[in-house]
Chain A
């Protein structure tokens, strides 16, 4: 069972540790993302979940541990090899990160123009298809600054889809959006999952969104994984930190600087 699951892993993280300077953010993370599943990485602010995502897409280098994607350990590859893997991954950033000097259509066309030898006419058609998939079919010639927050995020998803990725990453897809627009993005993620059987990794702290889209979830707390499982397993979880998160119980007030730093990075037991 375990072996079968491992061979089906799209991403395999083994004992991953990441530090910013002296401060260790992730203290040994191990988990798999299975091919075709939607994995939601849950966690509070400052839990390390964003760092985990940045490490998965190769924006941060781990201090130790392994990240296996497409049979390659990305912790030890050259930039050139990493770029080959990145061409098969798409990432939708929290703030959309569209290029402000280009139209929405040019944003989506950019990876196709740079990484493929397709004819300009073919690229035009592909851009229309990708924008159509995210519901922005008629906004090809708009500048990103003319779009609303939700539309920008959809456009960013279209750009992430441009190269037909095998794995799609979302950083806080519903951050800064009203509930209706956020629900629209959840639906978009569900549609993509149905249409392409893509592996999707979503970082969020939105519980409603997580329980809607996730096949499995992993809860990151202070740089450790404290729970991993299906929606049902999460609902039934008795882990105190998970319960606190799910039941929205506030943290005791932080007055001491040391407590704050400990809350961010270390568990009090290890004293590191």
Chain B
């Protein structure tokens, strides 16, 4: 009897979860829209834009992440070279290592790894910062002082991420290729010059710009999720921890989904 009731409840639960999911996506879109409004429309309606806040954020999001992004993509480039060489060696096609590394890094791993690093460093920080401000009533203080919390806290983060995530991705792409070249030179008979020449020969502009388009979308998703989780923080310090965790987990899941959607789009729009 109990079992039957549970089974009967399943469609209802699934439906409710689905609606919650769409509501969440809607919330992210609303937040992004509001931030875009205060950034791009607000200044023409007499509201002030404070670029120094965005610059401050850009330093934290971008410049301070260069070291870790370099390290990770360098190693992953090296790993990709080793892994593809394992297969290519059997075919006697070691000269294709450069191309295999370049295409996989530029199209997929560069943007994705950068996004993962940015989620860990900045997405979590956004949720923790806004969550703490919520708990200490700073968000309420902003509102009673007639400030729009979105303009004050969220818009600079969007602006910083919009610029810095693609920049980091370009750097990550470069470091990935450098990582691959280490194996190319040491184990596949390339010189440094011939490795980079082989890389350039095997990629097209499309490989770069599809990766960059994805990285822009990743940046938007990470910022929206981080800020939304921050604003949904309840009362108490432990709630800040909960929002931070939830921001990281949700961001990673959404970034992977968005990655799949855009990769599929690029594939079907122009299959050549």
Whether B144 contacts A115 by the Cβ 8 Å rule is no
CB-contact partner of A97 in B138, B146, B147, under 8 A? B138
Residue of A nearest to B143 (CB): A59
Whether B144 contacts A86 by the Cβ 8 Å rule is yes
In whole angstroms, how far apart are the Cα atoms of A115 and B146 in the complex?
A: 9
B103 to chain A, nearest CB (A): 43
Whether B48 contacts A97 by the Cβ 8 Å rule is no
Residue of A nearest to B56 (CB): A101
Q: Which of A93-149 contact B (CB under 8 A)?
A: 93-95, 97-100, 110-111, 114-115
CB-contact partner of B141 in A82, A89, A91, under 8 A? A91
In whole angstroms, how far apart are the Cα atoms of A91 and B141 in the complex?
A: 8
Whether A99 contacts B145 by the Cβ 8 Å rule is no
Q: How many residues of B contact A (CB 8 A)?
A: 12
Whether B145 contacts A86 by the Cβ 8 Å rule is yes
In whole angstroms, how far apart are the Cα atoms of A59 and B145 in the complex?
A: 11
Q: Which A residues are in CB contact (< 8 Å) with B146?
A: 82-84, 86-87, 111, 115
Whether B147 contacts A93 by the Cβ 8 Å rule is no
Whether A99 contacts B137 by the Cβ 8 Å rule is no
Q: Does B136 contact A (CB under 8 A)?
A: yes
Q: Does B140 contact A (CB under 8 A)?
A: yes
In whole angstroms, how far apart are the Cα atoms of A58 and B147 in the complex?
A: 13
In whole angstroms, how far apart are the Cα atoms of A82 and B146 in the complex?
A: 8
- Dominant SS among interface residues on chain B: loop
Q: Which of B119-154 contact A (CB under 8 A)?
A: 136-138, 140-141, 143-148
Q: Does A57 contact B (CB under 8 A)?
A: yes
Residue of B nearest to A82 (CB): B146
Q: Which B residues are in CB contact (< 8 Å) with A91?
A: 141, 144-145
B245 to chain A, nearest CB (A): 22
Q: Which B residues are in CB contact (< 8 Å) with A111?
A: 145-146
Whether B145 contacts A110 by the Cβ 8 Å rule is yes
Q: Which A residues are in CB contact (< 8 Å) with B48?
A: 114
B91 to chain A, nearest CB (A): 57
Q: Which A residues are in CB contact (< 8 Å) with B140?
A: 54, 59, 93, 97
Q: Which B residues are in CB contact (< 8 Å) with A54?
A: 140
Q: Which B residues are in CB contact (< 8 Å) with A58?
A: 143-144
Q: Which of B216-246 contact A (CB under 8 A)?
A: none
Residue of A nearest to B135 (CB): A95
B9 to chain A, nearest CB (A): 22
Which of B137, B140, B146, B147 is the most central at the interface, judged by chain A CB atoms within 10 Å of its CB? Answer: B146
Q: Which A residues are in CB contact (< 8 Å) with B143?
A: 58-59, 86
Q: Which B residues are in CB contact (< 8 Å) with A57?
A: 144
B138 to chain A, nearest CB (A): 5
Residue of A nearest to B141 (CB): A97
A130 to chain B, nearest CB (A): 14
Q: Which A residues are in CB contact (< 8 Å) with B147?
A: 114
In whole angstroms, how far apart are the Cα atoms of A169 and B143 in the complex?
A: 14
Residue of B nearest to A91 (CB): B144
Q: Which of A175-219 contact B (CB under 8 A)?
A: none
B125 to chain A, nearest CB (A): 13
Whether B144 contacts A95 by the Cβ 8 Å rule is no
Q: Which A residues are in CB contact (< 8 Å) with B136?
A: 95, 97, 100
Q: Which of B74-132 contact A (CB under 8 A)?
A: none
A126 to chain B, nearest CB (A): 15
Whether A95 contacts B137 by the Cβ 8 Å rule is yes
B43 to chain A, nearest CB (A): 14
Residue of A nearest to B152 (CB): A114
Whether A99 contacts B138 by the Cβ 8 Å rule is yes
B130 to chain A, nearest CB (A): 13
In whole angstroms, how far apart are the Cα atoms of A99 and B146 in the complex?
A: 15
Whether B144 contacts A59 by the Cβ 8 Å rule is yes
A162 to chain B, nearest CB (A): 8
A48-72, CB under 8 A of B: which get 1 and which 0? 0000001001110000000000000
A124 to chain B, nearest CB (A): 18
Which of B137, B144, B147 is the most central at the interface, judged by chain A CB atoms within 10 Å of its CB? Answer: B144
Enumerate chain A interface residues (CB-CB to B < 8 A). Answer: 54, 57-59, 79, 82-84, 86-87, 89, 91, 93-95, 97-100, 110-111, 114-115, 159, 169
Given pairs A54-B140, A82-B146, A97-B140, 20 additional interface contacts (CB within 8 A):
A57-B144, A58-B143, A59-B140, A59-B143, A86-B144, A86-B146, A91-B145, A93-B137, A95-B136, A97-B137, A97-B138, A98-B138, A99-B138, A99-B141, A100-B138, A110-B145, A111-B145, A114-B48, A114-B147, A169-B144
Residue contacts A-B, CB under 8 angstroms, 29 given: A54-B140, A57-B144, A58-B143, A58-B144, A59-B140, A59-B144, A82-B146, A83-B146, A84-B146, A86-B144, A86-B145, A86-B146, A87-B146, A91-B144, A93-B137, A95-B136, A95-B137, A97-B137, A97-B138, A97-B141, A98-B138, A99-B141, A100-B136, A110-B145, A111-B145, A114-B147, A115-B146, A159-B145, A169-B144
